């Protein structure tokens, strides 16, 4: 039994359930497309994407609420020696992030496949770049924030004080996060920009996406409005994840090793 398998043992229902939902959805969409109706599938896909994507928030929420298996917890006997804070946080963060990476890869991959089979043209790098951007800029910081929430609650005696402190500090982190994003977007002009992706929606697909009839070339449409996609949120996400990771490691060693 190592830390990774311990994490999987604690969270297999959550991780497995999330991936099962994504796979069932993928199979259903694939059946619609292969039955020869990619156009309707595009509309259904877009609708379901907005419903399914936020379900990934379950992972950090559950991480925030469960500390079972901590140093003196019910599953501790499965490990032969106490673990360092770094190993503990890395295992929890790694398993949760890998689960969400697979989940969003399935959502994004299926959407890209449906789009291309319906005739939407896009750059080959677009799905992967979007996935990586979302994972680094928003998913990773949210996951580690969930872990920090749980550890902050554990740093106080059971009761309302710890909950109030944890809620207030997490709201503070969200505010600082959005403030940092705004500052980085406005002031760090030297950061590289990603090019605007080339996405062409043909006229047959447009009505299914609620776009005015006619071809839509997204790149040409957005070009006078934006020069490119800013990478500032990615750098802010990296910085925030690293800081929260360090805080989680220290919290674990101070709170659970005592």
Spatial separation of the C-alpha atoms in residues 153 and 26, rounded to whole Å: 38
φ, ψ of residue 229 in degrees (nearest 5)? -95, 120
The reply on whether position 179 binds another protein by CB under 8 A is yes
Query: Please, which contacts does 75-84 make with residues 24 or more away whose CB atoms are closer than 8 Å?
Result: 75/6, 75/9, 75/10, 78/1, 78/6, 78/9, 79/1, 79/2, 79/3, 79/6, 82/257, 83/3, 84/253
The residue among 2 and 223 lying less far from another protein, judged by its C-beta, is: 223
Helix (H, G, I), strand (E, B) or coil at 241: helix
Q: State in angstroms the smallest separation of the CB of 117 from another protein.
A: 26
CA distance 238 to 236: 5
Cα–Cα distance, 190 to 232 (Å, whole number): 10
Q: How far is the CB of 11 from another protein (least distance, A)?
A: 24
Encode 196-219 in three state secondary structure: CCCEEECCCCHHHHCCCCCCEEHH
Of 18 and 247, CB closest to another protein: 247
Q: How far is the CB of 47 from another protein (least distance, A)?
A: 23
Q: Does 86 bind another protein (CB under 8 A)?
A: no
Nearest distance from residue 181's CB to another protein, in Å?
13
**Is residue 75 at the binding interface for another protein, with CB under 8 A as the rule?**
no
Size of the site for another protein (CB under 8 A): 35
H or E segment and range at residue 130: helix 126-134
Query: For residues 208-227, which are near another protein according to CB under 8 A?
Result: 212, 220-225
72 binds another protein (CB under 8 A): no
* Site membership for another protein, residue 8 (CB under 8 A): no
168 binds another protein (CB under 8 A): yes
Which CB, 90 or 101, lies closer to another protein? 90
Region from 36-44, 52-60, 229-237, 250-258 binding another protein, contact rule CB under 8 A: 250-258
Work out whether 188 is an interface residue with another protein (CB under 8 A). Answer: no
- Asked whether 144 and 244 are in contact (CB, 8 A), the reply is yes
Phi-psi map region of 210: left, alpha, beta (phi>0 left; psi -120 to 50 alpha) = left
Which residues of this protein are in contact with another protein, per CB under 8 A?
A: 148, 151-152, 155-157, 161-162, 164-173, 175-176, 179, 186, 212, 220-225, 247, 250-251, 254-255, 258
């Amino acid at each position: 039994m190592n830390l990774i398998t311990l994490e999987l043992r604690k969270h297999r229902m959550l991780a497995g359930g999330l991936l099962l939902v994504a796979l069932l959805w993928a199979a259903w969409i694939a059946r619609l497309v292969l039955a020869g109706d990619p156009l309707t599938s595009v509309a259904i896909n877009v609708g379901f994407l907005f419903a399914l994507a936020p379900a990934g928030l379950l992972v950090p929420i559950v991480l925030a609420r469960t500390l079972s298996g901590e140093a003196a917890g019910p599953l501790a006997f499965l490990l032969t020696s106490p673990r360092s804070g770094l190993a503990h946080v890395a295992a929890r963060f790694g398993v949760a992030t890998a689960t969400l990476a697979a989940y969003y890869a399935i959502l994004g991959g299926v959407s890209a496949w449906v789009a291309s089979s319906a005739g939407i043209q896009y750059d080959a790098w677009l799905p992967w770049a979007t996935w990586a951007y979302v994972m680094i800029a928003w998913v990773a910081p949210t996951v580690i924030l969930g872990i920090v929430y749980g550890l902050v609650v554990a740093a106080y005696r059971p009761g309302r004080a710890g909950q109030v402190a944890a809620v207030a500090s997490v709201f503070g982190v969200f505010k600082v996060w959005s403030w940092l994003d705004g500052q980085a977007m406005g002031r760090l002009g030297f950061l590289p920009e990603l090019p605007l992706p080339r996405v062409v929606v043909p006229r047959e697909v447009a009505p299914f996406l609620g776009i005015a009839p006619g071809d839509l070339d997204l790149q040409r449409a957005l070009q006078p409005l934006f020069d490119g996609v800013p990478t500032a949120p990615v750098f802010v996400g990296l910085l925030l994840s690293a800081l929260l990771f360090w805080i989680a490691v220290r919290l674990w060693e101070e709170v659970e090793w005592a």
